[in-house]
Amino acid sequence: MVFKINGGNRLCGSLKIESAKNSVLPIMAGAVLTDKEVIIENCPKISDVFAMSDILRSVGKIVKFCGENLTITPDEGFVGGDLNFSTDLASSVRTSVLMLGALSAKTKKAKIPYPGGCDFGGRPIDIHINALKMLGAKIAEEDDRIVCGSPIKGGKAVLPFPSVGATENVILACVLGKGDSVIVNAAREPEIVDLAAFLNRLGAKIYGAGTSVIRVEGVKNLNGGTIRPSPDRIEAGTYLVAAAVTGGEIELNNVNAENISSLLGKLCDNTCKFKIKNDIIYLHSGKRKKAFDLTTGPYPLFPTDLQAQASVLAAVSDGRSKIKDEVFKNRFAHVVELKKMGAKVSVHGNLATFDGVPVLHGAEVCAHDLRCGAALVLAGLNAEGTTVVHDVKFLERGYYAMDKKLAALGADIVRA
Ligand code: EPZ
């Protein structure tokens, strides 16, 4: 599957942003903790959600879309024995690892395959494992699977890095049970706040989400409930950069400007103008683009998930821009593809240096991972001539109907 793009059109118009993929996925793992119905509103129909849905089905849930909402209910007819799922399923989505915390809390013993996810130089899970051990879990490896026996006893887990997934895994492992647990140096991303808000709505007792110290008081069981996760800040940021690299003007509905303030600041430096009203952002892109520097980091610093997209803007901004990724130090698969489109860029370690060119030119390029794919689409929108982005299956893990949304804004793009 490819996206074929004839570049050069200014993007104009408005579009609605989906609920955040990186909130929906951990919330789906959290649904394992209750035997009641869970409804996730405005849920994106993306392949990572479909993969997590199959994982939940294999541990005894009925998962289905009802319009824009995803409903998760117990499968009364499930005869599953030990709750487990296949290695293929686990390796198709990073958040399969969250089933370790969720299943060990729910069934007191979890045995799961190693997770997958986009590959930019390895996705270790040592922080997850060590944090669970600090709270009394017994973790072992059995036939190529991770086993988390004996429930959390409570205590303090100090993370060496504010890992988003490890923070989520520990929260899920601690919600049910007797002990009180504290996570120190927790991730502060808005998606953590969403997960805690969801679980608290079901009756959990989680305090401090969004700060670097999170406390969880174990409870006996959880009710059901409905959640509308935050808007997807990475999807929103991707479309704002799309407008910037095409000199366009767009209006985004269902966005939380506070969650992408780091990007808005960079786009201002780059001569974009904004108007923000409630959950609407209106962006007008300046003609001349000025070079900028950025370094990614844990929230609220600039998100690594927008690094590849910002690289495209740097590639066509006057002057020299430097982009450093301090979260995933090898996340530069997009650079070799952007060079095929005329970008002047070099990478040393985790620093990419761009000397801006007036415009890119079309080429055949490959989406090596989700955000690399998104970046190459943005590059194609800017480029003179035709760009063909291959392997858009990676892109469709995290973007619902990207081709249709861009076409509605005036882009010349088809899925073929
Ligand atoms: C989450 O991944 C997101 N995925 C990623 O988004 C995002 O890039 C990342 O957080 C950082 O914000 C989901 O939420 C599904 P981490 P996660 O644990 O949890 C190292 C996207 O494009 N690390 O915060 O896997 C790790 O290698 C995806 O939507 C360890 O060393 O990220 C990285 O360098 C891609 N050991 C850093 O920490 C561990 O046990 C941050 O990883 C865990 C992580």
Q: What is the CA radius of gyration of the chain?
A: 21
Give residue 121's pLDDT: 67
Ligand 1 pocket test, pick from 18, 21, 22 with the greatest ligand atom count within 8 Å of Cβ, gives: 22
pLDDT digits (tens, 9 = 90+) for 228-265: 999 999 999 999 999 999 999 999 999 999 999 999 99
CA gap 240, 5 in Å, rounded: 18
pTM of this prediction?
0.96
pLDDT digits (tens, 9 = 90+) for 311-363: 999 999 999 999 999 999 999 999 999 999 999 999 999 999 999 999 999 99
More confident residue, 378 or 119: 378
| 120: pLDDT strictly greater than 80 | no
CB 52 near ligand 1, within 6 Å: no
Give 356's DSSP letter: -
CB 163 near ligand 1, within 6 Å: yes
Q: Which residue's CA is the closest to the ligand 1 atom numbered 37?
A: 327
Interacting residues of 328 by C-beta distance below 8 A, sequence separation 6+: 120, 121, 304
Give residue 111's pLDDT: 86
Ligand 1 pocket test, pick from 96, 262, 263, 327 with the greatest ligand atom count within 8 Å of Cβ, gives: 327
CB 371 near ligand 1, within 6 Å: yes
CB 119 near ligand 1, within 6 Å: no
Cα of 307 from ligand 1 centre, angstroms: 14
Give residue 356's pLDDT: 97
Give residue 110's pLDDT: 85
pLDDT digits (tens, 9 = 90+) for 258-316: 999 999 999 988 889 999 999 999 999 977 899 999 999 999 999 999 999 999 999 99
Cα of 303 from ligand 1 centre, angstroms: 11
Q: Which residue's CA is the closest to the ligand 1 atom numbered 7?
A: 305
CATH topology of domain 2-18+231-415: UDP-n-acetylglucosamine1-carboxyvinyl-transferase; Chain (3.65.10)
CB 333 near ligand 1, within 6 Å: no
Q: Which residue's CA is the closest to the ligand 1 atom numbered 30?
A: 124
What token pair was written down for 48? 């990572």
CA gap 289, 240 in Å, rounded: 14
Residue % of the chain over a pLDDT of 70: 97
The string of DSSP codes covering 143-162 is TTEEEEES----EEEE-SS-
Cα of 333 from ligand 1 centre, angstroms: 17
- CA neighbours within 13 Å on the CB side: how many for 217? 4
Contact by Cβ (8 Å): 239, 16: no
What token pair was written down for 258? 């506070």
Cα of 297 from ligand 1 centre, angstroms: 11
Packing angle, helices 47-58 and 21-30, rounded to 10: 0
Cα of 163 from ligand 1 centre, angstroms: 6
Query: Right CATH number for 21-227 from 3.40.50.300, 3.65.10.10, 3.30.365.10, 2.60.40.290?
Result: 3.65.10.10
pLDDT digits (tens, 9 = 90+) for 211-230: 999 999 999 999 999 999 99
User: What pairing do the DSSP bridges indicate for beta strands 225-227 and 38-40?
Assistant: parallel
Active site residue 118: yes
Mean pLDDT of all residues belonging to the chain: 94
Set 12, 43, 66, 118: catalytic member: 118
Q: Where are the domains of the chain?
A: 2-18+231-415, 21-227
Task: Give the pLDDT band (50/70/90) at residue 196.
Answer: very high
pLDDT digits (tens, 9 = 90+) for 4-39: 999 999 999 999 999 999 999 999 999 999 999 999
Burial of residue 287 (CB within 10 Å: 0-12, 13-18, 19+) is exposed
Contact by Cβ (8 Å): 222, 33: yes
Answer yes or no: same fold for 2-18+231-415 and 21-227: yes
Atom of ligand 1 nearest to the CA of 168: 19
Instruction: Give the number of other CB atoms < 10 A from CB of residue 349.
Output: 10
